[in-house]
Structure 1
Amino acid sequence: MEESQALAAFTALSQETRLRVVRLLVQAGPDGMAAGAIGEALGGAATSRLSFHLTHLEHAGLIQSRRDGRYIIYSAVYSVLAGLVGFLLKDCCQGHPEICAPAIAALSCACDRESNLVKSA
């Protein structure tokens, strides 16, 4: 990931509603969520306000949309999110992987929890 892409992503994520939307869509998985369901999950966010935030996130490449009948479904772009994490950790460690081990372990642990939840459902 280029620095300019990372800056655009961090700018988009620096606003509370947009950060909550991305986290919600990550939890929703690849199927994503309809815009109305996102608004409800955020406590009934106004449609115009939510649309503004969704557009901002989409322009930053963090989410994508697709039409499904009357609905617009939004989903996280996991490759971009992974690229953002990779950008942060790219120069980590300087030859000492033990320094980054806690960050890597936290990511692995979170992913393992999510896949275990899916398996048990």
Structure 2
Amino acid sequence: MELKTAVAALAALAQETRLAAYRLLVQAGPAGLAAGRIAEALSVSPASLSFHLKEMAYAGLIQARQDGRYIIYSAHFEQMTALLAYLSENCCAGAGPEAANTACCPPKSTGDSP
């Protein structure tokens, strides 16, 4: 992933409604959700949601498909995976995301130490 693409994706998610919508779409999986269901779940107007969905689509985070008279939105999981890989590629001096579970993330405290 290029720096410009990563910045666009992170900028698109750096807004409360868009982040909530994206998380909802990730939870919905590949089946996605109709715009009306997203607006209802987030309590936002259709016009406002349309603006936010456009921003996320421009960043490549979501995709839309026609299903009868509805437009179904779903998370673009390949782009999400690429963004996560980009963010963690320098983790542990380039050891890769597989090392993130141990070396990049400090162990959880058990409460035994002072």
TM-score class normalised by the smaller sequence: 0.7 to 0.9
Superposition deviation, residue 68 in structure 1: 0.6
Q: Is the 8 A contact 2:29 2:74 kept in 1?
A: yes
SS of the residue 2:30 aligns to: coil
Q: Distance in 2 between matches of 1:104 and 1:27?
A: 26
Partner of residue 62, structure 1: 61
Superposition deviation, residue 104 in structure 1: 8.7
Superposition deviation, residue 75 in structure 1: 0.2
Q: Does 1:47 align with 2:46?
A: yes
Partner of residue 21, structure 1: 21
Equivalenced residue count is 104
Counting aligned pairs with the same residue, the percent is 53
Q: TM-score, normalised by structure 2?
A: 0.84
Partner of residue 31, structure 1: 31
Superposition deviation, residue 102 in structure 1: 4.8
**1:62-108 C-alpha deviation (Å, 9 max, x unpaired):** 00001111100000000000001000100110166796225999xxx
Quick one: which amino acid aligns to residue 2 of structure 2?
Answer: E
Quick one: which amino acid aligns to residue 10 of structure 2?
Answer: F
Q: Is the 8 A contact 2:91 2:104 kept in 1?
A: no
Unaligned runs of 5+ in 1: 106-121
SS of the residue 1:93 aligns to: coil
Question: More displaced, 88-97 or 53-62?
Answer: 88-97
The structure whose residues are more often helix, as a share, is: 1
Unaligned runs of 5+ in 2: 106-114
Q: Distance in 2 between matches of 1:68 and 1:103?
A: 45
**1:26-68 C-alpha deviation (Å, 9 max, x unpaired):** 000000000000001102x111100000000000000000111
Q: TM-score, normalised by structure 1?
A: 0.79
CA RMSD of aligned residues (A): 2.2
Partner of residue 89, structure 2: 90
Indicate how the Cα distance of structure 1 residues 22 and 103 shifts in structure 2: closer, same or farther if over 3 A, else same: farther
Larger Rg over CA atoms: 2
SS of the residue 2:31 aligns to: coil
